[in-house]
């Protein structure tokens, strides 16, 4: 028998699974463990996305130094590809990653066997190093139509990272440092079979989302989306198609729902799957930083606004650190807000500015 959820129930399941209700988590590691990952993105219109996601869950209890400590000192978290993941889950990540590398990239690695060996030998002798400290001796230079063209060292290191031979060891300023994987990951790694790893990953992903479409698809960023065949089949009243829901999330509906207001990164997993956000929340969103200014509807790095179990608008703002200001250019209401909504959003903007150590400047 297929379970039927109301739209409100489905949204509450999604919000609670993403730790965006009033019951905040107690630590950064607990947060990342539930979310399964933080996406790394360098855009700092407000703050780096990983920091913004962490703050939206932990509030003022979170400081960027917490992330640095977890990555470089405690090693409870680790950078892998373009994500930050729990070190406790690195076995699952490593078991699945090689199969998700494009065949042409594998062919390029194979065509550069000496180059690959040279990089590993250099890291063994002198690591950790940033990519710019390693000589480019590629037999076949990397060529692409994007920003990686002629950046053979970085591309090889990134692929060796995904193949489990090289690991992110920390940061030197903005630059990632690299070392041999055996020096970064636990010494007692035991990789599961790809089949077992896929099951673990899918179960964890559904728990982090609460509710998702069945099946799997790969996002443009290389992340898998969808719940596969795990969870409980369900439908959402008024929404076409089938869903899968985490059974523990369904049971938790009986505990009630404690709402709050949150400002989200454009890369937040509540909204990252834009089709899911539109289906569940009726929320239309496009990251417009790559659009000409005249064609933007909501702003360069507009933050989705959550209020309770509804996504209600976007905040167009940017930090000016020199002047100590959070410049608010516009607050876009997706529909007419109540006075209570407006007050809650303004309070959250003030909280964001306080966390950033700046004042709010309205137009």
| Residue 275 located in a structural domain | no
Residue 221 is predicted with a pLDDT of 65
| Residue 307 located in a structural domain | no
Q: Quote the number of domains for the chain.
A: 1
Beta bridge partners of residue 236, listed in sequence order: 5, 239
| Residue 124 located in a structural domain | yes
d(CA 153, CA 167): 14
Is the Cβ–Cβ distance between 129 and 178 less than 8 Å? yes
| Residue 208 located in a structural domain | no
Domain span holding position 170: 95-183
Residue 265 is predicted with a pLDDT of 97
Residue 263 is predicted with a pLDDT of 98
Tokens 């917490």 sit on residue: 66
End-to-end distance of the chain based on CA atoms, in angstroms?
54
C-beta neighbour count of 34 within 10 angstroms = 16
Tell me the CATH number at 148.
1.10.10.10
d(CA 264, CA 315): 9
C-alpha distances out from residue 261 to 19, 21, 267, 341, Å: 12, 8, 17, 9
| Residue 224 located in a structural domain | no
Burial class of 232 by CB neighbour count within 10 A (0 to 12, 13 to 18, 19+):
middle
Which residues of the chain carry a pLDDT beneath 70? 144-150, 220-222
| Residue 64 located in a structural domain | no
* Phi, psi at 78, each rounded to 5°: -150, 145
| Residue 55 located in a structural domain | no
| Residue 188 located in a structural domain | no
Task: Write down the pTM of the prediction.
Answer: 0.94
Beta bridge partners of residue 65, listed in sequence order: none
């Amino acid at each position: 028998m297929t379970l039927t959820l109301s739209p409100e129930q489905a949204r509450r399941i999604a919000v609670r699974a993403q730790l965006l209700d009033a019951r905040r988590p107690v630590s950064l590691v607990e947060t990342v463990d539930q979310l399964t990952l933080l996406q790394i993105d360098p855009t700092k219109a407000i703050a780096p996305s990983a920091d913004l996601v962490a703050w939206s869950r932990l509030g003022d209890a979170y400081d960027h130094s917490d992330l640095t400590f977890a990555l470089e000192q405690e090693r409870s978290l680790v950078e892998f590809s373009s994500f930050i993941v729990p070190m406790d889950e690195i076995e699952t990540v490593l078991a699945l990653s090689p199969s998700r590398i494009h065949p042409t990239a594998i062919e390029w690695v194979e065509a550069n066997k000496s180059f690959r060996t040279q990089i590993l030998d250099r890291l063994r002798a002198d690591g950790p190093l940033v990519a710019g400290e390693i000589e480019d001796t590629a037999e076949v230079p990397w060529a692409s139509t994007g920003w990686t063209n002629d950046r053979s060292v970085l591309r090889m290191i990134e692929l060796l990272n995904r193949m489990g031979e090289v690991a992110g060891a920390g940061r030197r300023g903005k630059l990632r440092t690299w070392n041999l994987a055996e020096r970064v990951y636990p010494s007692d790694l035991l990789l599961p079979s790809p089949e077992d790893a896929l099951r673990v990953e899918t179960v964890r992903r559904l728990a982090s989302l609460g509710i998702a479409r069945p099946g799997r698809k790969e996002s443009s960023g290389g992340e898998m989306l969808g719940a596969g065949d795990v969870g409980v089949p369900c439908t959402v009243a008024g929404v076409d198609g089938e869903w899968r829901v985490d059974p523990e999330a369904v049971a938790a509906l009986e505990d009630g729902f404690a709402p709050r207001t949150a400002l989200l990164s454009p890369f937040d997993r509540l909204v990252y799957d834009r089709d899911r956000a539109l289906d569940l929340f009726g929320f239309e969103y496009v990251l417009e930083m790559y659009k000409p200014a005249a064609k933007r509807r909501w702003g360069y790095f507009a933050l989705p606004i959550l209020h309770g179990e509804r996504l209600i608008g976007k905040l167009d703002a940017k930090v000016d650190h020199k002047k100590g200001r959070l410049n608010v250019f516009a607050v876009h209401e997706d529909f007419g807000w109540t006075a209570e909504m407006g007050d809650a959003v303004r309070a959250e903007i003030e909280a964001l500015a306080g966390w950033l150590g700046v004042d709010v400047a309205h137009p």
